[in-house]
Structure 1
Amino acid sequence: MVGTLLDVVDVIYRIYYWMIIIYIFMSWVPNVRESFIGEILGKLVEPYLAPFRRIVPPLGMIDFSPIVALLALWLASFGLKTLLIYVFG
């Protein structure tokens, strides 16, 4: 049972991780964020990235907040997996 829960957490983490990565790369291409897929990704990713953008201001034209957000996402995933192992053995 623990293995299945860990797999589910890992799949959700990886999907959201790649959604953030794709959304970041979409910012480099003009008008891609205004596309249908860009708007969907924005609605799913921006609520998570917004608090990090308030904490980590951009340096010139470079926004480092997604890197911090990805690190926090990894830490949350790692912590949740550790908790599941501890609780369910």
Structure 2
Amino acid sequence: MTSLFEILMLLLGIAKFFIFAHFIMSWLISFQVLNVRQPLVSQIWYGLNRLLEPIYGPLRRILPNMGGLDLSPLVALIGIYIIEILLRNNAALFY
């Protein structure tokens, strides 16, 4: 059962990485450091969007409209950290 705990923690770490990458890439695109017309950038950007939209979509429907500010990545990260804390505090169940 220890391997199940480690796999869950790995998946949460990968999800955090993708959210951070999407967040940083969105800032670089909005400040025109990256150009979405470049093939590699557009493939990565649209891939991250398609990967994270099932997470962000329900959160965007719940959160109030903040104008141009999207708080769904922050809420998703907080949710991931809460799940990690719960898993670590209940790690004895996996042994």
> TM-score higher than 0.5 here?
yes
Measure how far apart 1:35 and its partner are. Answer: 0.6
Q: TM-score, normalised by structure 2?
A: 0.70
What residue number does 1:26 align with? 25
Q: How does 1:47-58 map to 2 (within 5 A)?
A: 47-58=54-65
Identity rate, percent: 34
Give structure 2 stretches of 5+ with no counterpart: none
For residue 41 of structure 1, what is the aligned residue in structure 2? 48
Q: Tell me the C-alpha RMSD between the 2 structures.
A: 2.3
Alignment: residue pair count: 86
Q: CA separation in 2, counterparts of 1:45 and 1:20?
A: 7
1:1-89 equivalences under 5 Å are 1-2=1-2, 4-28=3-27, 29-30=29-30, 31-32=35-36, 35-83=42-90, 85-86=92-93, 88-89=94-95
* Distance in structure 1 (CA, Å) of the matches to 2:76 and 2:91: 22
Q: State the TM-score, normalizing by the size of structure 1.
A: 0.74
Residue type matched to 2:5 in 1?
L
Deviation per residue, 1:33-70 (Å, 9 max, x gap)? x7111111111111111111111134232222211111
Give the unaligned 5+ runs of structure 1.
Answer: none
